[in-house]
Amino acid sequence: MTFGKKAQYEGEILNVFGAPPTATTLVDQPMRMSRSNYLVNNINHISDQRSQVVANWSFGATNRGLSTNFRAAPSTGGDPNGAIVRLVYQARLDPDGIPYPIRVMVQGYTTGTSIIRVRAYRSFSEIHLTDSFTSASATWQNFSGVNYKLIKFSTALEPDGFVTSYDTISSTILNTVPSARQEIVIEDAAATGRGLNIAPILVLSGLYIAEYVGDP
Amino acid sequence: MTVIAPVPPKAGYPRFGEVLSGEPVRASTWTDAANSILNSLGSTNIFVPFFSPALDIPPVSTRTLRFQYTPNGRATQIRWIYWLDDGTGTGDLPTRLARTVKLLVKSSTTTTIAFSYSNTTTNTQRIVAIMGYEDTMRVLEDIDLGVKPATYQIREPIAGVPYESIGGLFESATAKFRRYYLNHSDSDATDSFWKTSTTTLASIAIKDGVILTRKRYPTSVYGSTQWRVRAAVDNLNYGGRVKITNTVANIVNYLVLPNTSFAVIGTFYSFDVPRSFTWSKVGSATATLTRNNHGFTTGDNIYVDSTTSTVEVPLGVYSVTSTGTNTITINTGVIGTATGTCTNDMQFGCEDYTDPAGLPGGSTQFYTVNYASENAAGTFYLSNVACEEVI
């Protein structure tokens, strides 16, 4: 993503380069190309700023706020146990249609040694974020030495169902809206390092996921 | 006006330079712009980021979670995603469910919205987790400030139809888009509160939460945050207080609620954590900051993020001396005589595009929320802690 000559402030869309504050004043008037250029790139820039926090949950020190529901069943095998939690959100997209990267932090504890894995479902094959940990208390876990990790996407998302049904301009009503849904899966993966008799339990106790508009 | 134009083969996105001087604007370019708005601007403010209330709902009863946030005034509907443990004891993972509610009032002022769940079974059920976001409406009304993808006008280069045209798109794009950092809630029911009867500040069920603010301007280092709570008491003689801490920068702010803040026992009221002071200096470098029931204690750090005079009260972090219930002093380092106003904030760092992970200084920003009752004879309750961007 490049910022190029894009306007730096949201206010510029109206106050400096933008359209009049009411759409009706445009009516059927032509627009200068330079102005339309600014407008389009303002949109791009505002879009670039529009990242959202998907998850913000951190278990506290009291007996509330922690659920053991988001857990992996004890396992001693070598295969993943499956999803602990699946999140669905509508992704914001780069101009090329690729979802913004997401920053992920995972908090959990385990009774033994567990591996936690994060996938982005729409790009399921390309995302594997794993961490092996042994913490018995609810703490943010480290992925490769840091407790956050950026997941970058490389597959463009087609907004679902946006152009499914119109064939002439004047008569067709679109009954669907764009939906660039992205699914994030937190799952537990078994590992060979697990004991065969003492199967650990993994409990998810916190999660932070936020879209990132930068281009790491 | 209807313009015949090629139907774009798929949703696209305008790129810088795509609109060329001296050339007519292709309708598809405008359509691409519309798609860009729809997919990045016009949809899905996530005002309740995923969190786990772990809220148990007894058999044949209803529990309500209430959240505070400031919508941007666009037409929208709310999409709730929640995870339910049905209490059947099968050991299955909680079921992910969804519910969509259309907002009848398009508002751009801070509001409280509710999510209720009725347990009609004989099992105790549990709302394990919940998240809420705006969902694009399929059909907008004429008064809606938004994007109407269900009409052909959207594909016209320029049309004069408010709210339904490309001009409406730009109007929509000028709405204020916030980032909602967190929105935790517990039920208003008496068995579910965050509650305390001790006068010593204690943590609620949030610890080492993460805050990373949005970088709005090229020079931004921090982003301002507005914190809100919903609180109640069981004794009208006593109130309570809330302390928000940026544990990385060691910056604090307080919400002190005297007993007069509450009119009815057990009724929850919404409060903003205050951010404003008045200040005065009389021939010295010491500025006296005044706010009713400020809550600060000597040794606390305060971050002044805006002031009417950056000469007399430069922006930055100050160590506080508490001189009264309503006054604190700071050493501005500048001798002078003046008065003015200022705001304080939590100094949460914003995204840093020079860092590989976008983190300010390469580190994560954490917060904690503590609360206390004014007196051991009274219980102080919280049912919502929310934080959103100030724009």
CA distance A14 to A162: 28
Residues of chain B with pLDDT under 50: 1-19, 138-165
pLDDT for B300 equals 97
A4 lies within 8 A of chain B by CB: yes
Residue B239: name the closest of B135, B106, B380 by CA. Answer: B380
Q: Is A90 close to B133, i.e. CB distance below 8 A?
A: yes
pLDDT for A140 equals 86
Q: Which residue is it, tokens 């509450």? A: B262
CA distance B121 to B123: 5
Maximum CA pair distance of chain B?
76
pLDDT for B368 equals 92
CA distance B162 to B146: 9
Q: Is A23 close to B163, i.e. CB distance below 8 A?
A: yes
Per-residue pLDDT tens for B346-375? 999 998 878 877 888 888 889 999 999 999
Residues of A in contact with B165 (CB under 8 A): 23
User: How many pairs of residues across A and B have Cβ atoms under 8 Å apart?
Assistant: 311
Q: Is A96 close to B54, i.e. CB distance below 8 A?
A: no
Per-residue confidence of chain A (216 residues) as pLDDT tens digits?
333 333 333 333 333 334 444 544 554 455 556 666 666 666 655 655 678 899 999 876 544 445 667 776 665 555 555 678 888 887 777 666 678 888 888 888 877 777 777 877 665 555 567 777 778 788 888 777 777 878 887 777 765 544 333 333 333 333 344 456 777 877 766 544 444 445 566 778 889 999 887 665
pLDDT for A110 equals 77
Closest CA–CA distance from residue B97 to any residue of chain A (Å): 11
Specify the 3-state DSSP secondary structure of A121: helix
* Substitution target from B30, B40, B144, B191 for chain A, most A beta carbons within 10 A: B40
> pTM here?
0.82
Per-residue pLDDT tens for A192-213? 444 444 556 677 888 999 988 7
Let me know the angle formed at the C-alpha of B44 by B43 and B47, rounded to the nearest 5 degrees. 145
Q: Is A105 close to B364, i.e. CB distance below 8 A?
A: yes
* Substitution target from B2, B19, B248 for chain A, most A beta carbons within 10 A: B19
CB nearest to A212's CB, from B54, B151, B358: B358
Residues of A in contact with B177 (CB under 8 A): 10, 46, 49-50
What ipTM goes with this model?
0.84
Residue A45: name the closest of B286, B118, B36, B75 by CA. Answer: B36
Specify the 3-state DSSP secondary structure of B135: strand
CB B196 within 8 Å of CB B374: no
Residue A129 is encoded by which pair of tokens? 């974020």
pLDDT for B90 equals 61
* Substitution target from A6, A58, A162, A205 for chain B, most B beta carbons within 10 A: A58
Long-range contacts of B275-278, Cβ-Cβ distance < 8 Å, separation of 24 or more: B275/B224, B275/B226, B275/B343, B275/B344, B275/B345, B276/B341, B276/B342, B276/B343, B276/B344, B277/B341, B277/B342, B277/B343, B277/B344, B278/B339, B278/B340, B278/B341
